[in-house]
Amino acid sequence: MKHLQKPNGKLGIIIIISAVRTSTDFRILGRGAPLLFVGGGIGPPHITIHFRPAGIFFMPGEHQPKRCMQSVTKLRLVASPEERQMLFATMERYNAACNAVSPVAFSERQFSNIGLQKRLYRHVRETFGLSAQMAQLAIRKVAGSYRSTKEAIKEQNKVLAALGNPLKTLPELSFREHGAICYDARVLSLGRNRVSIWTLRGRIKPRYSKPDHFPAVTIVKQTDLVYRDGAFWLYATVETPDAEPAEPSEYLGVDLGVVKIATTSDGATFSSDATEKVRKRYGRLKGVLQKVGTKSAKRKPQKISGRERRFKTDTNHVISKQIVCAAEGTKQGIALEGLKGILLRTTVRHDQRERHHKWAFHQLRSFIEYKARRAGVLVTVIDGAYTSQQCSACGFVHSDNRQTQAAFRCLACGHTENADLNAARNIAARAAVNRPIAVCSPDTRREVESQACKERGTTYGIMPPTSVGGS
């Protein structure tokens, strides 16, 4: 792909797909390796290869492909008994290959795809009878699992170090007999109602059921085959074109918390009473099972944890959808506060630690961001420092402004309001103030005044002046 300047001054893209040599010239065929532009042709610097102009497609700048968003959709596979046996056999062979690769990766600390492929690709193919692509996918699964586990342990150790607890180390990974298989487009393809899947005994084409929200225009990048609760599922990673976000005139501020999961600047609140009730109920049940000490009692807490996690995930889906729909309906953007490292910066009482550390604010924020991106709603993340102490009416900041968890009263102007609502309005105000005052023009590559700045008739780049109390 090459950017070129046409004689009329418009920027465009030339896409070279592939070429094959004939007796007279080169013909454009399917997708292939990128080719170099040299003089009047395509090829290495020391060779001039001429081509037919009709084989080159000019794409104007205004028709360039849109950015796409990746999301995961869960599809249920409807397989016959014979097809289920073939899938089970493939799963077992695939995960056996993963268990053979894992000790080598762990002992040599080799977690890159290319390094492991050079080391074990031929061994995996000859030993387990997998196809070329499936052997590579098995090696990539092991490498990816080690990298993600290593990163997760790194983040957990930050919290453990802050609490003074012993740190975790990277263990050697093992894979369940019926663990997930990671497929790509070469070995799995989704049709309208059926899916073509590679197995040890050849391709099968079972039916699958898809949800109503499954996008009509999509590109499937990767699909994981998972066996859970007696059924096969496909977790398809799909790409859908982004909706073009409109420049909002106002922002919907969202304050995230523990007592109230979310509060918007429009006054909508989402309580954590239901999730707290579930957490306490499952916490009491886990305590009883730990006292029993039997094997079945030790397995039960894992199922309980899964139920609690799925309940919280569903709650976050519901809350994020309502927030995005409210912003979309009022043509507003969404303003969120940056909460990275919040667990390390805050301390709570001993009896509040479990509730505090099970606060799934990162998941809720990610749900809001991807749903807003799909709906064409602009999301802005601002610095949330002192939003709970600042008065949304006059801007005065003092720690004593927030008298209790729920009550806010400004010491300067006497403004009284719910503390979470006051914080949400501060977040919305900061997002409006921090809108960009200059953008880069794709045609001229020069900074020009943004429409937001033109509407205001002035330049904003800093917070409005506020009085800070205390010494």
Q: Is position 270 within any domain?
A: yes
In angstroms, the Cα distances linking 349 to 264, 338, 356, 368 are: 27, 23, 10, 30
Q: Is position 296 within any domain?
A: no
Number of domains in the chain: 3
Q: Is the same domain home to 137 and 57?
A: no
Q: Is the same domain home to 91 and 35?
A: no
Q: Is the same domain home to 267 and 236?
A: no
Q: Which of 241, 262, 296 is the last residue of a domain?
A: 241
Q: Is the same domain home to 93 and 52?
A: no
For residue 417, which of 269, 231, 302, 248 has the smallest C-alpha distance?
A: 269
Contact (Cβ atoms closer than 8 angstroms) between residue 122 and residue 130: no
User: DSSP state, 434?
Assistant: T
Cβ burial of 336 (10 Å; 0-12, 13-18, 19+) is buried
Residue 354: what pLDDT? Answer: 60
Residue 339: what pLDDT? Answer: 73
How many CA atoms within 13 Å lie on the side-chain side of 125? 10
Q: What is the CATH number for 428?
A: 3.30.420
Backbone angles phi, psi at 369, to 5 degrees: -65, -45
Q: Is the same domain home to 168 and 237?
A: yes
Q: Is the same domain home to 104 and 16?
A: no
Q: Is the same domain home to 102 and 181?
A: yes
Q: Is the same domain home to 320 and 446?
A: yes
Q: Is the same domain home to 116 and 200?
A: yes
Q: Is position 306 within any domain?
A: no
Q: Is position 389 within any domain?
A: yes
DSSP string, 95-151: HHHHHHHHHHHHHHT---HHHHHHHHHHHHHHHH---HHHHHHHHHHHHHHHHHHHH
Q: Is position 284 within any domain?
A: no
Q: Which of 193, 218, 241 is the last residue of a domain?
A: 241
Cβ burial of 160 (10 Å; 0-12, 13-18, 19+) is middle
Regions of the chain with pLDDT less than 70: 1-66, 213, 215-218, 341-359, 434-471
Q: Is the same domain home to 134 and 36?
A: no
Q: Is the same domain home to 204 and 256?
A: no
What is the residue range of 89's domain?
Answer: 69-241
For residue 144, which of 177, 184, 197, 98 has the smallest C-alpha distance?
A: 98
DSSP string, 149-163: HHHHHHHHHHHHHHH
Residue 51: what pLDDT? Answer: 41
Question: Any idea which residue has 């609502």 for tokens?
Answer: 421
Q: Is the same domain home to 144 and 175?
A: yes
Q: Is position 163 within any domain?
A: yes
For residue 245, which of 72, 69, 59 has the smallest C-alpha distance?
A: 69
Residue 242: what pLDDT? Answer: 72
Residue 358: what pLDDT? Answer: 60
